[in-house]
């Protein structure tokens, strides 16, 4: 049991260490992410020099060729925007993934007796 817990904590630490913030990463660090080549890394660095990325919606809007599918893949590889993975949570506004739009919560009420 202890070994499992320790292994899980070590694994969690490794996942957190793998996160790479797009607004702070060097070009070489960006290129180390699967799905980001020399061209995209160069464009990311150039575009963020004008103004850091605010969120994933801003990143996708300013980075030609990066849509929600590619953003999801990059996020799975550890890329973050302001510490956030993609897709952002449901409270993030217009950048919500399509699967979260129009969703609703069903609660079991006390009406049935």
3 band by pLDDT with thresholds 50, 70 and 90: low
Query: Average of pLDDT values for 9-25?
Result: 68
**CATH 1.10.150 is the classification of domain 20-90:** yes
**Alpha-carbon span 40 to 74, nearest angstrom:** 12
Instruction: Specify the pLDDT at position 4.
Output: 54
Sequence spans of domains, the chain: 20-90
Average pLDDT for 58-79: 97
Q: Which long-range contacts (CB under 8 A, 24 or more apart) does 30-37 make?
A: 33/74, 33/77, 33/78, 33/79, 34/73, 34/77, 35/70, 35/73, 35/74, 35/77, 36/74, 36/79
What are the residues whose beta carbons fall under 8 Å from the beta carbon of 93, sequence distance 6 or more? 57
Q: What pLDDT score does 88 carry?
A: 72
């Amino acid at each position: 049991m202890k070994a499992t817990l320790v292994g899980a904590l070590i694994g969690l630490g490794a996942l957190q260490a793998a996160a790479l913030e797009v607004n702070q990463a060097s070009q070489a660090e960006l290129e180390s992410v699967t799905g980001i080549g020399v061209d995209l890394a160069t464009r990311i660095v150039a575009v963020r020099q004008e103004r850091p990325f605010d969120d994933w919606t801003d990143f996708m809007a300013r980075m030609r060729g990066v849509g929600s599918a590619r953003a999801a893949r990059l996020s799975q590889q550890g890329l973050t925007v302001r510490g956030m993975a993609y897709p952002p949570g449901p409270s993030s506004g217009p950048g919500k993934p399509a699967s979260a739009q129009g969703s609703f919560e069903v609660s079991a009420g006390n009406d049935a007796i």
